[in-house]
Each structure stands twice: as structure tokens, then as C-alpha cells.
Amino acid sequence: MFLAQVALMFALWLGYGLLQWRRSQTIQQAMMEICRKRRAVYGPLLLLAGVAAMAGGFAVVQAMGGLTREGLTIVAWLVLALSGLLFVHLQTIGAAMMASLATAVTPCCSSPSCKCGVEAPKSGLPE
């Protein structure tokens, strides 16, 4: 029973990861609307927050005695499934922020929608 529960959770997490992968272009464009400095700070923090969310899910299940001889209780399964989805989401967004730092050609603050208060450097190239 336990292996079937874990397999179902893994399939759920993998499915959400694939959905995020299909949306990667949209996510990457959204990252460019966030200031470079914020992406540099929030990206690693989101990666760590994802790990903390998953560890928190395990801690909650352990504290409530959610793992029995028969497998996970329904509540424990839901806690782990949701914390795993949160993990995947935070990892995706954090990684997208980090990747956007390496691949950005122009600073985001050249965009009128950027609210970081930092002016984009003048490149000397015609716009």
C-alpha cells in the first residue's frame, strides 16, 4: 500500500513539474518583470523555502503519526502531496529566477513595469 501511495504522489509531483515545464516561457517572461536584485535574493530563498516546505511536511506527518504499518493515513498523504507540490512550485520559480539572472540580455528595469527604483544603464545602442 505504501509504495502505491508514494507512486501516486510522485506522479502528481511529476505531472505538476511537467505542467510548469510547458509554461516555462511564460514563467521566464514573468521573471523579467522582477528586478534583477530581487531575483538574485528571492531565487535562492525560494529554493531553500521549497526544501523547508518538504521537510515541514515530513515533520508534520511524523508528529501526527501519519505513517502506519499499512501505509500513510489519508491526512498524512494529503499533507505530503501538498507539501511536495509546494516544493515543486517553489523550486521551479526559484530556479527560473536564478536562470533569468544568467540569461538576461537587458536589465529588467528598462521595462516600464519594473518597480525596483533603479534606472537601467544606458547601453549607447539605439533603441
Give the chain's domain count: 1
Task: Using a cut of 0.85, tell me whether the model's pTM lies above it.
Answer: no
Per-residue pLDDT of the chain (127 residues; tens, 9 = 90+): 889 999 999 999 999 999 999 999 999 889 988 999 999 999 999 999 999 999 999 999 999 998 888 999 999 999 999 999 999 999 999 999 999 998 765 555 555 555 565 544 444 444 4
125, containing H or E segment? none
Q: Is residue 32 in a domain?
A: no
Domain that holds residue 72: 1-6+37-102
Q: Is residue 109 in a domain?
A: no
Q: Is residue 18 in a domain?
A: no
